[in-house]
Amino acid sequence: MTTSKQIADRLELMQGTLDMLILRTLLLGPFHGHAIARHIQRTTEDVLQVDHGSLYPALHRLERKGWITAKWEMAKDRNREFKYYRLTPAGRKQLASEHSKWKLLVASIGRVMEPAQEN
Amino acid sequence: MNLWQRLKFWRLWSRRQAREAELERELRDHVELEAEEQREAGMSPEEATYAARRALGNTAQIKEDVRTAWGMQWLETLLQDLRYGLRQLRRNPGFTVVVILSLALGIGANTAIFTVIDAVLLQSLPVKNPSKLVLLDSGPDQGTDSGDPYVGRWPALSFDSYQYFVRHNESFQGIAAFRKGTDPLEVRWPRAASDGQAEQAVGHLVSGNYFKVLGVTAGLGRVFDPSDDVPNARPTAVISYDYWQRKFHGDPSAIGRTVDLNGSPFTVVGITPPEFFGERMFERPPDFWIPITFQPEIMQRESWLTRKDMYWLNFIARLKPGVTRAQAQAILDVQLRQFLEGQVGGKHSEGIKRAINQAYIQLDPGQNGISSLRAHYSASLRLLMGIVVLVLLVACANVANLLFSRSATRQREISMRLVVGATRRRLVRQMLTESVLIAIFGGAAGLLLAEWGVPLLATLLSRDLVLSVTTNSAVLLFTLAVSVLTGLVFGLVPALRVSRTELGEAMKGATPTGRGSRSAVTRGLVVLQVAVSLVLLAGAALFARTLVDLENQNLGFNRDNILLVQTNPRLTRLKAADLDSLYRQLLDRLNNLPGVRSATIAYYSPMSGHTSTTGVTVQGYTPHPGENMEVNENQVAPYYFETLGIPVLLGRPIGPQDTPTSPKVIVVNQAFARRFFHRQNVIGRRVWVGHESYPPPAEPPQEIIGLVADARVHNQDQKPQPFAYMPLSQDPSFFAGNIEVRTAGDPSAAAAEIRKAIRQVDSALPIMSIQTLRRQVYDRLNQQRLVARLSVMFSLLALILAAVGLYGVMAYWVSRRTQEIGIRMALGAKKSDVLRLVVGRGLAVTLIGTGFGLGAALGLTRLMASSLYGVKPNDPLTFIGVSLVVVGVALFASYIPARRAANVDPMVALRHE
């Protein structure tokens, strides 16, 4: 059972951020849903907890917007098919735009939070 | 749904099923992979699977969210809500029945009236592209006119003006002429077809291009072409599909047969398609179409084709593509004036020039054809539509109230659903889906009711209705729209209430929240119901009193014991000179029948709806410039006044001594005397009938020999008009066919005897109809009767619905206060106190509603002043009467729950909690 201590260490993902993280992950190549969640968690050293419940609705939403496509493909390491998602050119563009927006946001917040570094 | 849409729908659906399966598999894979990972981290297989499932969370919720992402969610939700709604309805059958019945009555009334409106006012002619058709005049037939050209609107054409328009046609693909009105035909088929016996049929004179302009092709054989309608053409006729079925049972050998129509042979060349009935809606459609060139043969008159002063043709024309009705009209206006100038010749006075410039043509849309019903009934039908909408409003209020009290009992269920995570929006949507579902059931039941009510309505509208008024797609669409709208209206209040549900409070106990606002809303709805019912009752009472007044109107003649026989001497091939002897023989014969008091003949029969006027010049009366000198006229045989019971006040009535050779005489009524002689003696005064110009013409005038009392022979509600009665024998141009017989006993019983007597005088004289004068007078008020009956019926329906509403509210109030009443009784309140308490409450609501209703009714009934007769729109007696009825019904409706409250056993009530 997850304890309350562990919950406190982890951060809830902001709405919309998950989409960007999924797109960024898929930049590395095709992944299935579980692998995407695992990749985000591992990369952030388990700080960002991907709620599995919201992962799949997000994937289907991105697919409907045409930013990613899905295909049932044979896994390399085992003899069965998984649903693999991959980035479309439109998704690549969307990622770029969200990335720059995110950078601007982080920089702006940073200036407010740590004004000393400005000088 | 057409095939393509259906395919698309199923493709969508099957794709949907596949997607569901994929999602299921994807989520299963996820759990498996996650479990595998956990096992590698050292968990036992069971633990691992459990942990993986928990990490994923509620799969049902995820699926729901994914489906939302797919965007097909609304359909799913709708189906779910519908299933849920159906379950709710099944669970409360009593509630369901009451609600659906209320709505069925409300919606059914709307559908029924709309069906008739659709048929009478909205339906198009069943011809090719009817929206491109225009008519010279789409109003009911006013008959033919002779004399000077019209000043102002031209509602009819002479044959040569029609030809002028055809020659100079610019705007139309074709202009077809047809006679205004139809002609009675006496039909004789040779040999076996009808044993040589004559039969009655309806004929219509049309131009050779008539069918082509309408775009109607023959069902069998051929329709006319222009070569059928030229001088010396072979006489041809087209028969209607109905007539063909009646007469020949669909035998194609009918084509090519020769038939005798009013004494001349015609060859049947074709049969119209089944759906075609001419350009006239809701009148007896023609059995025969005959080219207008045969007008003299069919009408048994001199030729009207050569008469420039006879206006007897209407036309229907098809606009060229891109030409509007207004453009065509403007061109026709110019052409009409050119035509008139050509007729007058080069030199003409200022007056004639002005008259020509005032003449114009106003084209009517042709797509609905000609309908006298439309002109007569459109105001009444609109009024009835307004009434049924109000009835539906009352029904809506009722259902809203029922739903409202049910939503109170469903409070716990709703709170529970809110707690488990349903959004308020979702719940409101669900409540609305439920109420629309209820309304659609109500609408379906209403359609059934309308199905039963419409034929009834249709027969009330017109006794010889030929076209069936049917439920078509427009009616179905209307009903559906009304149902959905109704559902939204009555569902809105309870649904919004859901959105205000306080979670914590609702979960705590059974007591619904917001009691104060709840009873305010329900009482408000009852006030509305009472007020609307009162308005409807007041309107209905005024209509009913108008009808009673008109029915009991003293008409100035005695309508009892008179039989009216309609014949047509034109069809006997008698010459005008022979008419006088025919009349004499008929009167001799009929007046000597044992059961007959007296018999007479007239050109118009009383209250038949037919009348004519004529200009007069009166000796010693100088008209003001521009004064209308038209008076009503009728040509009557001897014994007319005696037979009808119109008192002769001075002088003598028209009698057998007035012959074609005796001095010309005239009898006038009191209104005539008042207008032209100012109560001076009228006997012996002279009148030139048919001449309006002053000074009088050179020919000898008619002498007034008698003064008779005023009689209303045209309309019950019209003031007596100046009237001139002339002897039938003194004007041979009138082929009078209306025989009036006063009998000693029941007139209907004498019908066979009278028919036989007429046959014996001249077996060729056709008898078109026989009915009593009482019936004819009665039929004259059909429209008022229809409006009065329906408005009374609908307002009573509204009152019953309002009473049910009040009863429901009071019963609910009593049930909620059982405990309080118990305490009061335990503390010494008597049964009568409790009765007074409850009834008083109901009465208070009713009185407020009555107050509002009276105010609204006073404002609204003023609008119907023109439809009232003998009663003022704010008639105090009517208003007091309907208020008493409303209050009485309300007392009864609240007395039932009050008695239940009074019978509460205090001990039981107190133990209740």
- The reported pLDDT for the residue numbered B700 is 81
What separation in angstroms does the CA of B277 have from each of B133, B182, B236, B286, B479? 16, 13, 18, 7, 28
Check the CA dihedral A14-A16-A19-A25 and report its sign.
negative
Cα pseudo-dihedral B901, B905, B907, B910, rounded to 10: -20
What separation in angstroms does the CA of B86 have from each of B80, B89, B241, B433, B446? 10, 5, 48, 10, 19
Which residues on chain A are in Cβ contact (under 8 Å) with B21? none
Closest CA in chain A for residue B37: A38
- Apex CA B796: angle with CA B793 and CA B800, to 5°? 140
- The reported pLDDT for the residue numbered A3 is 38
Q: Do B66 and A52 touch (CB under 8 A)?
A: no
Residue A13 has pLDDT above 80, yes or no: no
Distance from CA of A43 to the nearest CA of B (A): 17
Distance from CA of A64 to the nearest CA of B (A): 7
The DSSP code sequence of B275-301 is T---SBSSSPPPSEEEEGGGHHHHHTS
- The reported pLDDT for the residue numbered B168 is 93
Which residues on chain A are in Cβ contact (under 8 Å) with B56? 52-53
Paired sense of beta strands B686-689 and B648-651, if any: unpaired
Mutate to test the interface with A, among B56, B63, B73 (most CBs of A within 10 A): B56
CA A37 – CA A49 distance, rounded (Å): 8
- CA B675 from chain centre, in angstroms, equals 39
Distance from CA of A113 to the nearest CA of B (A): 34
- The reported pLDDT for the residue numbered B5 is 61
Which residues on chain A are in Cβ contact (under 8 Å) with B57? 51-53
The DSSP code sequence of B24-54 is HHHHHHHHHHHHHHHHHTT--HHHHHHHHHH
How many helices and strands in chain B, by DSSP H and E? 27, 24
Kindly state whether A52 is in contact with chain B, defined as any CB-CB distance less than 8 angstroms: yes
CA B249 – CA A6 distance, rounded (Å): 94
Q: Do residues B484 and B116 touch, judged by C-beta distance below 8 A?
A: no
Distance from CA of A96 to the nearest CA of B (A): 23
CA B550 – CA B401 distance, rounded (Å): 41
Q: Do B30 and A34 touch (CB under 8 A)?
A: yes
Count of residues making up chain A: 119
Q: Do A56 and B22 touch (CB under 8 A)?
A: no
- Within the 67-86 window of chain A, which residues sit less than 8 Å (CB to CB) from chain B? 72, 82-83
Count of residues making up chain B: 913
Residue A12 has pLDDT above 70, yes or no: no
One-letter amino acid of B617: T
Residue A16 has pLDDT above 90, yes or no: no
Q: Do residues B470 and B126 touch, judged by C-beta distance below 8 A?
A: no
Kindly state whether A56 is in contact with chain B, defined as any CB-CB distance less than 8 angstroms: yes
Which residues on chain B are in Cβ contact (under 8 Å) with A53? 56-58, 61-62, 65
Which residues on chain A are in Cβ contact (under 8 Å) with B62? 53, 56-57
Q: Do B69 and A32 touch (CB under 8 A)?
A: no
Mutate to test the interface with B, among A15, A18, A31, A34 (most CBs of B within 10 A): A34
Q: Do B71 and A64 touch (CB under 8 A)?
A: yes
- The residue ranges of DSSP E strands in B352-486, in sequence order, are 364-365
Span A26-54, mean pLDDT?
Answer: 84
- The reported pLDDT for the residue numbered B138 is 80
Q: What is the pTM of this model?
A: 0.71
pLDDT in tens, B607-658: 887 888 888 888 888 888 777 888 999 999 999 999 999 999 999 999 999 9
Of B33, B37, B62, the CB nearest to A56: B62
| % of chain A exceeding 90 in pLDDT | 11
Of A35, A38, A53, the CB nearest to B56: A53
CA A7 – CA A4 distance, rounded (Å): 5
Q: Do B34 and A34 touch (CB under 8 A)?
A: yes
Closest CA in chain B for residue A56: B66
Closest CA in chain B for residue A71: B22
CB atoms within 10 A of CB B79: 11
Of A53, A60, A64, the CB nearest to B58: A53
Q: Do residues B679 and B621 touch, judged by C-beta distance below 8 A?
A: no
Give phi and psi for B623, each to the nearest 5.
-70, 150
Q: Do A53 and B26 touch (CB under 8 A)?
A: no
3-state secondary structure of B865: helix
Which residues on chain B are in Cβ contact (under 8 Å) with A72? 22
- The reported pLDDT for the residue numbered A119 is 45
Closest CA in chain A for residue B34: A34
Distance from CA of A84 to the nearest CA of B (A): 10
- The residue ranges of DSSP E strands in B619-677, in sequence order, are 630-636, 648-651, 665-669
Q: Do A51 and B65 touch (CB under 8 A)?
A: no
Kindly state whether A10 is in contact with chain B, defined as any CB-CB distance less than 8 angstroms: no
Distance from CA of A52 to the nearest CA of B (A): 5
Mutate to test the interface with A, among B23, B29, B59 (most CBs of A within 10 A): B29
What separation in angstroms does the CA of B628 have from each of B201, B354, B389, B632, B674? 39, 19, 44, 12, 16
Closest CA to A99 of A30, A15, A17: A17
Distance from CA of B77 to the nearest CA of A (A): 17
Which residue shows structure tokens 């007091």? B880
CA B470 – CA B41 distance, rounded (Å): 76
Q: Do A82 and B71 touch (CB under 8 A)?
A: no
- The reported pLDDT for the residue numbered B53 is 85
The enclosing H or E element of B169 equals none
Q: Which segments of chain B have a pLDDT < 70? A: 1-13, 71-76, 141-143, 147, 191-197, 281-283, 346-347, 408-409, 420-422, 461-470, 498-518, 679, 691-698, 912-913
Work out how many CB contacts closer than 8 A connect A with B.
50
